[in-house]
Each structure stands twice: as structure tokens, then as C-alpha cells.
Structure 1
Amino acid sequence: MTGTTPRRRHSPAVYRRRRIVLLIAVLAIAGIVWLLIAQPWAGAATESTDKSDESRSQNTAESLPVPSAPVSPDPSSTGAVEGAVVEGTPTPGATPTAQPCVASELTVEPVTSADTYASEESPQFSITLTNNGPDCTLNVGTSAQSFTVMSGDDVWWRSTDCQSEPSDMIVLIGAGQTVSSATPLTWDRTRSAVGTCADGSRPRAPGGGASYHLSVEIGGISSTEPRQFLLY
């Protein structure tokens, strides 16, 4: 047909550039779709949360360390024991972030291994601590624990009289959590006093059905009610 300008064909280079642009666009769309489906950031977030939870569990109280008493020349006659921190207690030096515990929100109870003891039996004592408030921190180390045995108004034995190498341990106590002594502390049924810790001839507590009471303290918080037991 006359008067019509022939259509010009593009050079091969133009077609190659168009194909490259199209390929890039397809790859970009595929990448976006993969990100939406795979969500690779979710794994990193989960790992971070797991590490945070693990760190928290290491700082959370599971059991209480036991105050230690020096070993006397004749352990069989005095009943002195060495306290130990069991596996599962918080890592010393950890730094919990909750606020310090409030005394009115904690319940501290003395625990005895039995209600009555025969003449050849030595009483064993523990502490139970319950947090009735929110998460909080407390020094539950051996330096903050005290066991006291009384008969009427007469103080017969204090765990702090002969305690060796007391230490601090600040731990996180969860809301509603109850923590107990890792291992009971044994009383040798003798009268304690500073300066008589290695004395195997200390006066022995009377038996025959005599009544005694155990009171405890931890982190500056005392038990509200003593625990009664009988010695025979």
C-alpha cells in the first residue's frame, strides 16, 4: 500500500533488555512470596524467646540452700552436718530484675521431719517459703537463714551459733511459688552457744516427752507460728 511507513523492527539488544527486566520482576515477586510463606524471622524470634526463658529459669528459686555447721571431732555424738546446695538452685551471681519481696506477701513456715522423736533420733528441720504476691527477689542464702529451738522461754539451739562460711544468694521467687529447703538441717539435741561448737560435752536437751518449738527466719522474714515437737 502506498503512503504507509514500514514498521521498524527493534534490534536484538532491545529484546534482550526487555527479557532481563521481565526476569528480574518475576524473581522479585517470587522472593516476596517466599518471605511471606517461610517467615524466616519467626525462627530467630523463637530462639531469642527460648534463650530469655532459659536465662529466667536459671535465676528462679527452686530450693533453698542449707546453713552449714562445722564438723566436730565426734560427729556421732553431736549430730553436726555440713549443708550443701543441691543441683537446681539458682546460679550464684545471677541478677534477677524483679522488685524486692515484701514481707507481708511472703509466708515462712518451719518444718520438722516428725512430731515426736525417740531418744536415739535427731530432729531434722526445714523452711518452706511461699510467695503470695507478684514475682520478687529475696536473699535466701545461708547468711539470711536462722533456725531456733526453744523450750518455753529458754533458747536451746540456734543454727547461727556455729554456722560456718555463710553466704548470700539473691534469687527470683515467682508469683504463687513455694520453695523449700534442699536438705534438712539436723539438730544434735544439745544446747548451742558461740564458742562451744566443737565441744562434744554440751548439755543434752531433756527428753521424756518434753515439748520444744522451732522458729525460722529467712531473708529477714520470720515465721509467724512456731512448730511444736516432742523429745523422748
Structure 2
Amino acid sequence: MTETVARRRHSPAVYRRRRLVVLLGLAAVIALVVWLVVAPPWRGSAADGPAPVASSTPTGDPVATDLPALESDGSAATPTPGPSDAATAPDAESSATADDAAVTSAAEPCVPGDLLVEAVTDKTEYAAGENPQLSIRLTNNGDACTLNVGTTGQVFTVMSGNDTWWKSTDCQAEPSDMMVLLEEGQVVTSAAPITWDRTRSSVETCGATERQAAPAGGASYHLYVSIGGVNSTNTAQFLLL
């Protein structure tokens, strides 16, 4: 006679433990898949490397955009600040001072032979009552370099023959320096022209209310300019009618 042995049923606690093991294993598999997608180990060397660094200009000098303007007496032109400008003026001045102090030697000073300085007038003939407007055009034909284009280094001279009639430095007040970076091939001009009032200037007549008027009636005059110690290669001729 065959004896049948009944299989003993496991307690509910055993089944609960088995289900818990299965759930934990499934959770581990899901976590592994998520980690492989979010942070794949094969990209670790690239992700840990240094971030790319943006290139910068070779100097701390501001890049030139135009040349500082002069007033008719040869002093630096200063725009009248508005209400909002007045509040920020001290900060702007501090920032400009910091920029000047940040000048580096990465870019060499400009070579005079690489610079083309030109005298420019707005007209070639001026009728009675019209005052000539005088400007400088500066071209850098060499490599990027630094130059002081401030009002300390700008000189406008009006001559008739060998007679010097007017010079911007005769009555210049509070000249200032401005170091800028001139890019290769860059051309800059005066931010605003300087006006010649058609009179003779001298250091003795700066405060005079009347000065000798320049002859007209077709008289010829020449404008000579220099900037940063570099003289113009041309003169701008004009007539006073």
C-alpha cells in the first residue's frame, strides 16, 4: 500500500518575505537603468574635464570707437548729464579709472609708421559767417596696438603760408589721457569736430573777448593735425570767402 505524504504549506510570512525580495530586486534593476541613462560612466572623463574658456582680446584696454572731442578752446568736450546720469557719474568715473589702471602689455604700443593720420574739414570753402569744422581721421595699418588718443595728444593747427593763425593747445583746459586698443585695419575719427572761430589764437588772448579776425576774400588756409605724437601725412586746404 502506497503511503501519500502531504506537502506542508508555507506560512503567510514566508510568502511575504519572498514577495519583498522580488520587489527589492526589481527596484534595484530600475535604479540601475535610471543611473545608466542619467550619468553613464563612459562619459565621465568628458564631463569631468574643464569647461571651455571664451577667448578674449589681448589687452585690457577698451577698443577704440572714435576720438574724444575737443571744444573750440581746445578743452575736452563734456556732455551735460541728465537726471539719471548725474546719479551714476561717480560710478562711471570710477569705472573709467579702473579701466585705465587695467592696461596690460599684451598689445604693444602703436608704431608711428603703421598709423595714418589725416586732417579733415567739413568743407573746402566757407562763406562769410561760416566757421570751419575740423576733425582727425586715424587708420591703423599695422597689428593691433595701443595708443593714447586723449585730448592731451590731439593738436589742431591752422596756418596760412608760414603764419600760424590758430592752435588748439593755446587755450586748452583740463586735457585728459585715453588709452585705447586699435585693431588691425581699424579707422576711427573724431567723435565731434572742433570749430575754428576764424580768429588768431595765442596763450595771451585766451580770455579776450575780441581777437584778430582771419583775412577772408578767398584767403587760403591749411589744417595740420597730430595725435599721440604722430603728425598728419596731409593738410586739409580750405578757403575763407
State whether TM-score is above 0.5: yes
Q: CA deviation at 1:134?
A: 1.8
Which SS does the other structure have where 1:212 is aligned?
A: strand
Question: Is 1:64 matched with 2:67?
Answer: yes
Which SS does the other structure have where 1:172 is aligned?
A: strand
Q: Give the letter for the 1:162 counterpart.
A: C
Separation in 1, partners of 2:72, 2:135? 15
Q: CA deviation at 1:200?
A: 2.2
Which SS does the other structure have where 2:156 is aligned?
A: strand
Q: CA deviation at 1:171?
A: 1.0
The residue aligned with 2:31 is 24
TM-score by length of 2: 0.71
**Identity rate of aligned residues, in percent?**
47
After superposition, the Cα gap between the structure-2 partners of 1:20 and 1:140, relative to the gap in structure 1 and judged at 3 Å, is same
Say which of 91, 113, 119 aligns to 2:122: 113
Q: Is the 8 A contact 2:61 2:179 kept in 1?
A: no
**Residues 144-168 of structure 1: per-residue CA shift (max 9 Å, x gap):** 1010011111111100011111111
Q: Give the letter for the 1:92 counterpart.
A: A
Q: Is the 8 A contact 1:84 1:183 kept in 2?
A: no
Q: CA deviation at 1:25?
A: 2.4
Q: CA deviation at 1:209?
A: 1.0
Q: Is the 8 A contact 1:65 1:84 kept in 2?
A: no
Gaps of 5+ in 2: 1-13, 81-94
Which SS does the other structure have where 1:92 is aligned?
A: helix
1:86-165 alignment, distance < 5 Å? 92-93=96-97, 94=99, 95=102, 97=104, 98-165=107-174
Separation in 2, partners of 1:96, 1:135? 14
After superposition, the Cα gap between the structure-2 partners of 1:182 and 1:214, relative to the gap in structure 1 and judged at 3 Å, is same
Q: Is the 8 A contact 1:69 1:162 kept in 2?
A: no
Separation in 1, partners of 2:76, 2:138? 22
Q: Is the 8 A contact 1:66 1:85 kept in 2?
A: no
Gaps of 5+ in 1: 1-8, 71-79
Which SS does the other structure have where 2:164 is aligned?
A: strand
Q: Give the letter for the 2:214 counterpart.
A: A
Q: CA deviation at 1:140?
A: 0.8
Which SS does the other structure have where 1:195 is aligned?
A: helix
Q: Is the 8 A contact 2:75 2:175 kept in 1?
A: no
Say which of 77, 94, 107 aligns to 1:83: 77
1:177-192 alignment, distance < 5 Å? 177-192=186-201
Q: Give the letter for the 1:206 counterpart.
A: P
Q: Segments of 4+ in structure 1 off by > 6 A?
A: none
Q: CA deviation at 1:120?
A: 1.2
Q: Is the 8 A contact 2:70 2:193 kept in 1?
A: no
Which SS does the other structure have where 1:155 is aligned?
A: strand
**Residues 34-62 of structure 1: per-residue CA shift (max 9 Å, x gap):** x98xx999xx86xx749x68xx9992111
After superposition, the Cα gap between the structure-2 partners of 1:25 and 1:217, relative to the gap in structure 1 and judged at 3 Å, is same
After superposition, the Cα gap between the structure-2 partners of 1:28 and 1:101, relative to the gap in structure 1 and judged at 3 Å, is same
Which SS does the other structure have where 1:104 is aligned?
A: helix
Q: CA deviation at 1:85?
A: 6.4
Q: CA deviation at 1:183?
A: 0.7
TM-score by length of 1: 0.73
After superposition, the Cα gap between the structure-2 partners of 1:138 and 1:81, relative to the gap in structure 1 and judged at 3 Å, is closer
Q: Is the 8 A contact 2:141 2:184 kept in 1?
A: yes
Indicate the structure (1 or 2) with the bigger Cα radius of gyration: 2
Separation in 1, partners of 2:143, 2:208? 45
RMSD of aligned alpha carbons: 3.3
Q: Give the letter for the 2:77 counterpart.
A: G
Q: CA deviation at 1:23?
A: 3.0
Separation in 2, partners of 1:64, 1:18? 75
Q: Give the letter for the 2:64 counterpart.
A: A
